[in-house]
Amino acid sequence: METTIIISYFLVSVLGVLTHFFHKWLRKGLLVHIFSAINESVWEHMKLAFYPMSLMMLIHALLPGFYFEGYWGIAFITVMAATMLIPLLYYPIRTLVGREIPAISISLYFVCILIAFVLEYQLLNNRITAIDHDLAIVLILIMFSLFALFTYFPPRLEMFKDPIYRKYGEFKQPFDKKK
């Protein structure tokens, strides 16, 4: 199980980085927008944790030694830990530092993913299930829907605003210029 979780960490990390650039590389397409970051907001970076982690939890559910009654409760906690740690750590760090430092923000993504996988490992080893199986699946689907909805209709809250261009949602960026 340890080796699988270590490999999963690296796969999720790579997939999260790749999905950061999918929007730039593949400008057209509903699914590209939903699954990739469309700007540099905190919310869009949370998507980079949520979707790859959700996919990995689905893969883990299919692997021997991972799935048991109550697994989806652990999967939900793992996915939400990776996703929610991003704003919970980003804003205090940015406040302490006083400005955006890209190297810190990028490193933070990898730290949040790592913490989530350590949490998953501990929960699996101890068979701790704090959330009902069916409720966990419903909550994951609700989060999936919220990420899709807020991609196109972001609330006017700070976490949805691109810190570079100070805009919400999708907008023309320098890479959109025709060559």
Q: How far apart are CA 133 and CA 31, in angstroms?
A: 27
Q: What percent of the chain has pLDDT over 90?
A: 55
> What are the tens digits of pLDDT across the range 96-134?
998 878 888 889 999 999 999 999 999 998 888 889 989
Q: What is the pLDDT of residue 83?
A: 96
Q: How far apart are CA 20 and CA 72, in angstroms?
A: 26
Query: Rounded to the nearest 5 degrees, what angle is found at the Cα of 111, between the Cα atoms of 110 and 116?
Result: 100
Q: How far apart are CA 36 and CA 43, in angstroms?
A: 11
Q: In which band, very low, low, confident or very high, does the pLDDT at 77 lie, cut at 50, 70 and 90? A: very high
> For residue 8, which of 71, 54, 64 has the smallest C-alpha distance?
54
Q: What is the pLDDT of residue 33?
A: 77
Per the prediction, the chain carries an average pLDDT of 87
- pTM value is 0.87
Q: What is the pLDDT of residue 65?
A: 80
Q: Would the pLDDT of 27 be above 90?
A: no
**Contact present, 34 and 150 (Cβ < 8 Å):** no
How far out from the chain centre does Cα 118 lie?
Answer: 16
Mean pLDDT of the 51-71 span: 90
Q: What percent of the chain has pLDDT over 70?
A: 91
